[in-house]
Amino acid sequence: MIQFPHCKINLGLSILSKRKDGFHDIDTVFYPVHLKDIVEITASGKGYSESIHFTHSGLTIPGDTSNNLCVKAYHLLKVDFPTLSAIQMHLHKNIPMGAGLGGGSSDGTAVLQILNSLFHLQLNKTQLIQYAEKLGSDCAFFLFDQPCQAQGKGEILNPIAIDLSPYTIVLIHPQIHIPTPWAFQQITPCKKEKEIAKIVQQPLSTWKQELVNDFEAPVMKAHPLIGSLKEELYAQGALYASMTGSGSSLFGIFPKGFTWASTPLTQHLRLDTF
């Protein structure tokens, strides 16, 4: 069984306070973007020695396989469904990692959905959301598949009516890894006057002045290239441009029908258009 998990961008991101559990309360809007990975799972059959045989292709996936959210998703379900069959899983990676796009979270959530269907676990959406929240703070969003205001750690989700389909979204991947713990350490949390969900309901022309990602200032100070790329998005005609998540990917929202002009700054970087 195959799924094509997509990524997300953050429309604004406010760090409101640090919690007693060490996490942070945030306010943001998750917006789905259809840059996709591919996850395929098949049952291994009787007598297979490993509970899960995981392979991957596409972009290089660093680190220990046991830490991959796809593998963790299988073992999470295995606790409550001990008779879950051994599987073979292949992940083809298109979504850059450590880029603020939520690709790993999307992949792990897709595994939950595939296993639920493949092995007839009969988990409803509420139950899948509960499992997704155990995987990661933003995993549950990928069960909604629509724009959502995200609060708390990112797990408190409320669908929001916003449609960017009249525009073109361009993603730029600077190939810079931003460690999320480091990014949070650079932030002094504070309450904001206006929720992001209200700002994104305003005309797009107001976003440049009001819609802010709190991670941008420290990340761009540490990596000036990212700031230069945001300026380039505006120079190319973006109506709004921002970093997504804790970076390092950026996105620009353009009028339909625009033509991107390659520049020395961007010619060696990956750009995706939607």
Write the CATH number for 151.
3.30.230.10
Mark which of 159, 180, 207 sits at the end of a domain: 159
List, in sequence order, every residue forming a beta bridge with 29; answer none if it has no partner.
Answer: 11, 149
Examine the domain organization and report whether 45 and 125 are in the same domain: yes
Examine the domain organization and report whether 188 and 145 are in the same domain: no
- Per-residue pLDDT for 208 more than 60? yes
Structure confidence at residue 47 (pLDDT): 57
Place of tokens 């007598």: 47
Q: Quick check: 227 and 203 in contact, CB under 8 A?
A: no
Q: Quick check: 241 and 230 in contact, CB under 8 A?
A: yes
Share of the chain above pLDDT 90, in %: 83
Place of tokens 């973006």: 238
List, in sequence order, every residue forming a beta bridge with 15; answer none if it has no partner.
Answer: 26
Examine the domain organization and report whether 29 and 131 are in the same domain: yes
Examine the domain organization and report whether 228 and 137 are in the same domain: no
Is residue 45 very low, low, confident or very high in pLDDT (cuts 50, 70, 90)? low
Distance CA 253, CA 233 (A): 9
Residues 170-183: pLDDT tens digits? 999 998 988 888 99
Q: Are strands 167-173 and 38-43 parallel, antiparallel or unpaired?
A: unpaired
Examine the domain organization and report whether 198 and 87 are in the same domain: no
pLDDT mean over 221-249: 96
Q: Give the least confident one: 44-58, 97-111, 205-219, 238-252.
A: 44-58
Active centre residues (catalytic):
8, 138
Mark which of 159, 183, 198 sits at the end of a domain: 159
Q: Which domain holds residue 93?
A: 2-159
Q: Give the least confident one: 34-38, 83-87, 199-203.
A: 83-87
> Residue 161 contacts by C-beta under 8 Å, 6 or more apart in sequence?
147, 201
Examine the domain organization and report whether 16 and 62 are in the same domain: yes
Examine the domain organization and report whether 132 and 261 are in the same domain: no
Higher pLDDT, 49 or 203: 203
Examine the domain organization and report whether 147 and 188 are in the same domain: no
What's the total number of domains in the chain?
2
Write the CATH number for 189.
3.30.70.890
